[in-house]
Amino acid sequence: MKIAVCVKEVPEAGSGRRIDPATKRLDRSGERAINAYDLNAVEEALRLKDADGGGEVVLISMGQDKALESVRKALAMGADRAVLISDEAAAGSDLVATSKVLAAAIKREEADLVLFGQAAEDSDGAVLWSAIAERLQLPVVSQVSELEVAGGSITAKRQTEFGYDTITSPLPAVLAVSDALNEPRYPSLKGIMSAKKKPQDVNSLADLGVDASDAGESGSRTKVLDLSPPPSRGDTLVLEDEGGSSAEQLMAFLVERKFV
């Protein structure tokens, strides 16, 4: 079984995130790492490969050339190879343009199963997998918290606000997995050492047969017109609990403003 896992490089959670006022895009110049939710997808792909007794786990990512540094963590976990789409013409791609590019890469791989993490930490859109499934005309299941693959089909337990759905679908299919599905493994020293030697292909848009006009800002259907900091929340009252008087201070504050 061949499994494609889409992974994304995002700014480190603790590094601070800012928008570049010139481009109105996320500033990616600081510390970066692989999207944490994507690690659950990688882990599940490796477990399915082991259970199947063979196959291949292919990582697919879109970003700058240096994104391979982050993607190597998933190679160190045990993935077999990585495909990075890196092209200046793809800079500034929104959901529509990104789904076009990634769908072309996935289609070329002819994978039996395509896995995504539930969302990207830097955008939290949680819809890319659905857009790609639409482009590929494949069934899609999101928020997968339990998964079985057998006999050319998948059975997924999907968490909803009302409980759980159990969905069966034929392969190939696109799945977005929940972080409740598994606990990603830590790369071993042997895995880290071997990751650099695994195939890591960098493709341009032309390599995928995608026209430059279908990616980047020209291929996007959304545009950021303006950005501004959030409005001030106003004055803040800090109560010092001296001698257990904070409750009385709070009550006096509420009475003064006629809230009680």
pLDDT digits 0-9 by tens, 38-72 = 999 999 999 999 999 889 999 999 998 899 999 99
CA torsion angle 136 127 61 18 (round to 10): 150
Rounded Cα gap, residues 25 and 23, in angstroms: 5
Q: Which residues contact 110 (CB under 8 A, 6 or more apart)?
A: 2
Extents of the domains making up the chain: 2-219
Distance from the first to the final alpha carbon of the chain: 65
CATH of span 2-219:
3.40.50.620
Question: What was the pLDDT predicted at 143?
Answer: 92
Which of 124, 73, 71, 74 lies closest to 95 in space, CA to CA? Answer: 124
User: Is residue 251 predicted with pLDDT exceeding 90?
Assistant: no
Mean pLDDT of 96-111: 96
Q: Which is more confident, 230 or 203? A: 203
Question: What was the pLDDT predicted at 14?
Answer: 66
Predicted structure pTM score: 0.84
Question: What's the chain's average pLDDT?
Answer: 90
Rounded Cα gap, residues 146 and 239, in angstroms: 47
Q: Which residues contact 187 (CB under 8 A, 6 or more apart)?
A: 73, 76, 77, 195
- From start to end of 123-240, where are the E strands? 140-150, 153-160, 163-170, 173-177, 200-203
Tell me the two tokens of residue 198.
Answer: 């695994």
User: Is residue 24 predicted with pLDDT exceeding 80?
Assistant: no
Question: What was the pLDDT predicted at 242?
Answer: 75
| Continuous segment of H or E residues that includes residue 71 | helix 68-77
Question: What was the pLDDT predicted at 254?
Answer: 87
